[in-house]
């Protein structure tokens, strides 16, 4: 079945630092790829997505590029803010429209 | 738009009793809803897929007689944990799909504590 390996946290950064959260996956076929974010006390929200190889998803300053050759979808942000503190989940979407979630990475950004 | 609610947000029940959790899509019709379980500091584990008007499809290892799912309408799915035990204590999250595709909209979750 599909699986996801996501960089384990917690990750603690200072404001304006550069962020990378690594994500690699195994899946049959060519899945769509997603990053979800869970802010404290809230439900998961879609952060960004990419549906085919070399696509770049972006939102709120975050970016991730669908790398088929390395089966990766690493999340990056050039300058994090305190408000970015949350848990981030990588999730490939399988052929049956189900999502397989990584373990999540807790990000804490200090002022 | 695309808001999903869950009720209750937190419930405590005694061992052996049953508890029902509701998941509602507030501003759209969801043909498919999903139920997940999340353990502390761990990922979401898909429990079952619920389609309106039909029986839920359970993932391997999930007891369908223990976790009863009913998707009675296009805006409501319920999860009933029957004869709850302390090991059922967890965070239960639902999501809804607007249409057949990948994007899911998640509810805020329900924390169940069984004493």
Tokens read off for A81: 């803010």
Rounded to whole angstroms, how far apart are CA atoms A21 and A29? 24
Is the model's pLDDT at B59 over the cut of 90? yes
Number of A:B CB contacts under 8 A?
47
Which residues of A lie closer than 8 Å to B, measured between beta carbons? 32, 34, 36, 41-46, 49, 89, 93, 97-104
Rounded to whole angstroms, how far apart are CA atoms A39 and A109? 13
pLDDT band, very low/low/confident/very high, at B13 (cuts 50, 70, 90): very high
Rounded to whole angstroms, how far apart are CA atoms B39 and B45? 9
The predicted structure's pLDDT at residue B113? 96
Low-confidence ranges of chain A (pLDDT < 50): none
Question: Are B42 and A98 an interchain contact pair (Cβ–Cβ within 8 Å)?
Answer: no
Tokens read off for B89: 């204590």
Cβ neighbours of B97 in A, within 8 Å: 97
Interface probe for A, chosen from B7, B44, B47, B109 (most Cβ of A below 10 Å), is B44
Which DSSP string corresponds to B42-102? S-EEEEEEEETTS--EEPTT--TTTEEEEEEETTEEEEEE-S--GGG-EEEEEEEESSSSS
Nearest by CB to residue A34, choosing from B43, B46, B102, is B102
Is the model's pLDDT at B52 over the cut of 90? no
Task: Assess contact for B21 and B78: CB atoms under 8 A.
Answer: yes
Task: Assess contact for B45 and B62: CB atoms under 8 A.
Answer: no
- Mean pLDDT (chain B) is 91
- Rounded to the nearest angstrom, the minimum Cα separation between A99 and chain B is 7
Sign of the CA dihedral running B103, A41, B19, B16: positive
The predicted structure's pLDDT at residue B101? 66
Arithmetic mean of pLDDT, B68-75: 90
Cβ neighbours of A89 in B, within 8 Å: 43-44
Q: What percent of chain A has pLDDT over 90?
A: 72
The predicted structure's pLDDT at residue B100? 64
Tokens read off for A35: 């990053």
Is the model's pLDDT at B77 over the cut of 90? yes
């Amino acid at each position: 079945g599909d699986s996801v390996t996501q960089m384990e946290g917690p990750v603690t950064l200072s404001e304006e630092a550069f962020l990378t959260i690594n994500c690699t996956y195994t899946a049959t076929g060519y899945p769509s790829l997603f990053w979800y974010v869970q802010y404290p006390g809230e439900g998961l929200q879609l952060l960004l997505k990419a549906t085919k190889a070399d696509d770049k998803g972006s939102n709120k300053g975050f970016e991730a590029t669908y790398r088929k050759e390395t089966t990766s979808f690493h999340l990056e942000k050039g300058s994090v803010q305190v408000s970015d503190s949350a848990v981030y989940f990588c999730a490939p979407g399988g052929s049956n429209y189900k999502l397989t979630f990584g373990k999540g990475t807790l990000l804490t950004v200090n002022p | 738009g695309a808001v999903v609610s869950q009720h209750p947000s937190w419930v405590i029940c005694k061992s052996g009793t049953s508890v029902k959790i509701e998941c509602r899509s507030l501003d759209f019709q969801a043909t498919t809803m999903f139920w997940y379980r999340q353990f502390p500091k761990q990922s979401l584990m898909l429990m079952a897929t619920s389609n309106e008007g039909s029986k839920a499809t359970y993932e391997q290892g999930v007891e369908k007689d223990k976790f009863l799912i009913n998707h009675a309408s296009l805006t409501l799915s319920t999860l009933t944990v029957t004869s709850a035990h302390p090991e059922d204590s967890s965070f239960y999250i639902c999501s809804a799909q607007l249409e057949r595709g990948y994007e899911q909209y998640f509810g805020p979750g329900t924390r169940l504590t069984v004493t």
